[in-house]
């Protein structure tokens, strides 16, 4: 391959690759992009859920409810979900989700949306 063709190929990949990932970087659920505006509208008593960080999907074994309160395991640590972090309304994604943040090295829930336990 001569030097001119190699340079042109490199330029194409350098320009096209970032453009092709722009839409995917904004998607909250790659399999259901129609839910993006729904994700962006979610908020709890602590504020908007989506501030640029994505929700973490939670397996059924990693969350529980007792006496009307939720607990969720984030990065191996069980935490109590404050009532004001619970997102009201229907869960259109169907899966349990948490929007975590760290405080003093420990995970906390900014938002939590329960799914259905199977």
Per the model's pLDDT, the better-predicted residue between 77 and 117 turns out to be 77
Element (H, E) at 96: none
* pLDDT of amino acid 10: 46
Of the CA atoms within 13 Å of residue 86, those in its CB half-sphere come to: 16
Q: What is the mean pLDDT of residues 57-85?
A: 95
* pLDDT of amino acid 24: 40
Which residues does 102 contact at the CB level (< 8 Å), separation at least 6? Answer: 108
Q: Which two tokens stand for residue 47?
A: 């504020």
Which residues does 104 contact at the CB level (< 8 Å), separation at least 6? Answer: none
pLDDT band at 16 (very low <50, low <70, confident <90, very high): very low
What domains are defined for the chain?
A: 35-113 (2.40.50)
Q: What is the mean pLDDT of residues 79-91?
A: 94
């Amino acid at each position: 391959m001569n030097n001119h063709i190699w340079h042109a190929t490199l330029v194409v990949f350098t320009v096209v690759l970032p453009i092709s990932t722009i839409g995917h970087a904004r998607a909250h659920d790659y399999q259901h992009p129609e839910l993006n505006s729904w994700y962006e509208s979610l908020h709890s008593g602590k504020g908007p859920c989506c501030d640029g960080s994505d929700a973490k999907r939670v397996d059924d074994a990693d969350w529980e409810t007792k006496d009307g309160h939720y607990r969720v395991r984030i990065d191996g640590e069980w935490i109590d979900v404050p009532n004001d972090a619970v997102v009201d309304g229907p869960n259109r994604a169907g899966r349990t989700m948490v929007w975590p943040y760290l405080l003093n090295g420990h995970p906390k829930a900014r938002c939590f949306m329960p799914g259905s336990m199977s």
